[in-house]
Amino acid sequence: MISNSDKVLVAGVTGGVGQLVAAKLLAKNLNVRGLTRNKAKAESMFNSRVELVEGDIRYPHTLIEATNGINYIICCTGTTAFPSARWDFADFWQPSNSPQAVDGEGVKNLLAAAPKDLKRFVFVSSCGVLRKDQLPFNILNIFGVLDAKLEAEKAITTSGLSYTIIRPARLIDGPYTSYDLNTLLRAKTDGKKAVVMEIGDRLNGETSRVDVANACVESLFYNTTVNQDFAIINSGDRPSSIDWSQLFSQL
């Protein structure tokens, strides 16, 4: 089980889920290192409480410093499913930060850079990876985002490392991009729905970024999540507190 002497690398620490993951790790007094493409952008988010290392998952040589001495990795990186400025087009036909480059090859680069004694690789994937031919996922996958996520999942499950794969549906809540650490620590799901999790990829609906971040962090505390892949959505009446132990034990 994770302890306060461990260090967790959050890849995609400036993202909607990644910021919340970092804040929740800090709230549990865990050591956090953030992998970011832009240190200056990330610095203001965490009141200097997160060690930041610059790197880009497309380029393996930039991941050496970030992964050195790390015990856990939570990978929350991603790009848009459909063409956008975030694809970093060199020209119209050549996006350099495409789903294939980031969600597929990039995650595989991060996995390859992981220390051999890594205790867990937690990956934020997506609902639909196992039913890419069904609506609405066949549309979501027009530019290959689900193909890329599945390719990354396969690399993770065959890597020999302990892993947890979390598949959210359409994300809601946040991103709290312009906020600071105190705001992140107080972030709550706006909805009043409970957390529902199920092994595999059969759930439909929407998922709070807050609950995805909670699931990433909480999963590190339970052996029931080791080498599991599960979908997570929000549905039903939300209890006053979420019992992660029970949710994970039902997987």
Ligand X SMILES: NC(=O)c1ccc[n+]([C@@H]2O[C@H](COP(=O)([O-])OP(=O)(O)OC[C@H]3O[C@@H](n4cnc5c(N)ncnc54)[C@H](OP(=O)(O)O)[C@@H]3O)[C@@H](O)[C@H]2O)c1
Which residues lie near ligand X (CB under 6 A)?
A: 12, 14-18, 36-38, 56-58, 76-79, 97, 102, 106, 124, 126, 168, 170-171, 175, 209
Q: Cβ 123 to ligand X, closest distance in Å?
A: 8
The 3-state DSSP class for residue 165 equals strand
Q: Cβ 177 to ligand X, closest distance in Å?
A: 7
Q: Cβ 249 to ligand X, closest distance in Å?
A: 24
Q: How far apart are CA 186 and CA 44, in angstroms?
A: 17
Nearest residue to ligand X, using CB?
15
Q: Cβ 6 to ligand X, closest distance in Å?
A: 22
Nearer to ligand X, 131 or 170 (CB): 170
Nearer to ligand X, 2 or 53 (CB): 53
Nearer to ligand X, 115 or 175 (CB): 175
**What tokens were used for 245?**
């132990």
Contact 199, 251 (CB under 8 A): yes
Q: How far apart are CA 33 and CA 102, in angstroms?
A: 20
Nearer to ligand X, 47 or 96 (CB): 96
* E strands present in 59-98: 72-75, 89-91, 94-95
Contact 187, 176 (CB under 8 A): yes
Q: Residue holding tokens 């060199």?
A: 90
